Amino acid sequence: MFKLLSALFFLLATGLVLHRLLFSFAAQSPAAYADTAPAFDLRRHLAGDMISEGVIFGPAGIVSARFVARMRGSWVRQTGTLVEEFTYASGATQKRQWTITIEQNGRFTATAPDIVGVAEGRISGATARLTYRLRLPDSAGGHVLDVVDWMYLAPNGTILNRSQMRKFGITVAELVATVRPEQEKTP
């Protein structure tokens, strides 16, 4: 009986892993988006004053946080700075400053104070993918999460952002947000 249960568990686990690798968010590759347009240009699409609105889903798929972020991107040749200032529905605030370096063949790297090591990015067609390790603040447990962050450029210039955060390979959070140029206020 134990051997049968072990074999069933192995088959179930193998099936779940294969499903995740072949048919899920994690299965996306930059090559799948190579022929999409408009072309994502970090220096153009992450420049100036922007606003982001989004939600973060917890491990059960229920919204755990909502936010609005003001963003400002500036570039000097191949190096950019992206400052994000988040205001959460709870009233909490958070600030992050990214330093982005464009490399060759659609690759880029990024660093920020709460990123462990260097984030690795890839631009392909109308998308940009960034993978990194994020250290949560002590107030959130100080855990380090593996993040896969996809940005999809819409034809009107709005960026649709979807990120999954994992711990030990298990999805613990997902972020969905928009990023768009901040519109001038009308009187």
pLDDT in tens, 112-154: 999 999 999 999 999 999 999 999 988 888 999 999 999 999 9
d(CA 177, CA 160): 6
List domains and CATH numbers for the chain: 34-181 (2.40.128.20)
Higher pLDDT, 105 or 23: 105
Average pLDDT, the chain: 90
Mean pLDDT for 166-174 is: 94
- Contact predicate 144/134, CB 8 Å: yes
Structure tokens, 149: 């962050």
Best CA proximity match to 52, nearest among 164, 185, 158, 180: 180
Distance separating the N- and C-terminal Cα atoms of the chain? 75
pTM: 0.84
